[in-house]
Amino acid sequence: MDKLLVKGGRRLDGTVQISGAKNAALPILAGCLLVDGTVRVSNVPTALRDVATTNQLLAHMGAGVTVGNDGTVVVDAASVSECVAPYELVKTMRASILVLGPLLARFGSADVSLPGGCAIGERPVDLHVSGMRQFGADVRIENGFIKARVNGRLKGARIVLETVTVTGTENLMMAACLADGTTVIENAAREPEVTDLACFLNALGARIVGAGTDTLLIEGVARLHGGSYAVVPDRIEAGTYLVAGAITQGRVRVNGVVPGHLDAILAKLRDAGALISVGEDWVECDMRGSRPKAVDIRTAPYPAFPTDMQAQFAALNTVADGVSTIVETIFENRFMHMDEMRRLGAEIRIEGNTAIIRGVTGLTAAPVMATDLRASASLVLAALVADGWTRIERIYHIDRGYERIESKLQGLGAEIRRES
């Protein structure tokens, strides 16, 4: 298994190009199943394992999938014949659940392996299932599968989500596109990746209004047509590299971003003492050689502070000046990186869903293990300032969400290499 070796102590200084958003590409690629034709998706982070898994899943169903070397994926779902998402693929990527809505809406049938939990939490999909039932589908859970059927078309419905769910909103929005009649989704997720999916679907002839707000209104249509679409930049990847600049007291500019998607992250970097500059499609974080100040974090649905940036700010706080608290309100077990950071010398106490971190003046290198995607990114950040060579194991987690992380960090001046 690959591991990363990182030597701490280098102050990062430079510019990095941000890739397309994983969490927009996955629902958009699944959404291609709604089209009886060809769709060309660009700015796809095709090097990511989760994107490869999604492409594999689409091909398994009989879709034609062509992956270019320029970040484009062309999907021809006219030939889809197998409405099944098998356990072998779903167990490696929970987001496979995103094929449920498209398959049910277009073919009236979907057998999707029930995604298990994962390291960060139980990750139920009850809201996905109950929403499909409200569209008139018969949905059973049998032998570890979600088996959904509907005679004819789904019927538009008014759905009130009891919890803000990103992929739940996406699944139901996709199903509603081809339903007979109007659908209203209340308490919908407002994440930029949800909005990107809505813009993609509208480019294919869907009629969705309200994206970016907590109320979506979808007018069902008989069919969607093919087209082309470019995936939105990855705000979490961008935030991760900005924190890399902050934690090393250096200067990092992220290029090819939507600055407005980073507001909550930039506010916290400013609180930490960074000088933040914002351009048309770039953002720069300059710590000017100073030690970051401790910042309190509380995660919540967009536009509040994203849970996917919680681990990265935990790393920053371990070497910040002062004591900070981090409250994780979205997932019940998203503090596993804290144990690994303690191995590097961090001073962290956990009380329920709150972590109290006392910043130390320095960390020391040690072997550590990645447990989930964003936790592994936070260990890389901590290793950038730990004295000595830190070895990070199980970095297959990191390859799920960060394209070429070692080359991007090397481009910023980090001493980091991959070891097979």
Task: Write each residue from 288 to 307 as x if it is in contact with ligand EPZ (CB under 6 A), else as -, in one continuous string.
Answer: -------------------x
Q: Is 118 annotated as catalytic?
A: yes
Q: How far apart are CA 232 and CA 110, in angstroms?
A: 28
Site for ligand EPZ (CB under 6 A): which residue of 20, 71, 156, 168? 168
Angle, in degrees to the nearest 10, between helices 166-177 and 126-134: 20
Of 10 and 123, nearer to ligand EPZ (C-beta) is 123
Do 107 and 80 touch, CB atoms closer than 8 A? yes
Q: Which residues from 9-38 bind ligand EPZ, rule CB under 6 A?
A: 23, 26
Of 38 and 55, nearer to ligand EPZ (C-beta) is 55
Do 280 and 254 touch, CB atoms closer than 8 A? no
Q: How far apart are CA 283 and CA 17, in angstroms?
A: 11
Paired tokens of 195? 């909005």
Of 29 and 294, nearer to ligand EPZ (C-beta) is 29
Q: How far apart are CA 266 and CA 259, in angstroms?
A: 9
Q: How far apart are CA 294 and CA 292, in angstroms?
A: 7
Tell me: does residue 231 bind ligand EPZ (CB under 6 A). Answer: no
Tell me: does residue 165 bind ligand EPZ (CB under 6 A). Answer: yes
DSSP conformation letters of 216-269: EEEE--S-B--EEEEPPB-HHHHHHHHHHHHHTTSEEEEES--GGGGHHHHHHH
Q: Which residues from 308-327 bind ligand EPZ, rule CB under 6 A?
A: 308
Task: Write each residue from 323 to 352 as x if it is in contact with ligand EPZ (CB under 6 A), else as -, in one continuous string.
Answer: -------xx---------------------
Name the catalytic one among 83, 118, 199, 285: 118
Of 186 and 419, nearer to ligand EPZ (C-beta) is 186
Piece in contact with ligand EPZ (CB under 6 A), picked from 79-87, 116-124, 222-230, 290-298:
116-124
Piece in contact with ligand EPZ (CB under 6 A), picked from 159-167, 256-264, 265-273, 316-324:
159-167
Of 17 and 329, nearer to ligand EPZ (C-beta) is 329
Measuring CA to CA, how many Å separate 28 from each of 108, 198, 287? 20, 9, 36
Active site residues: 118
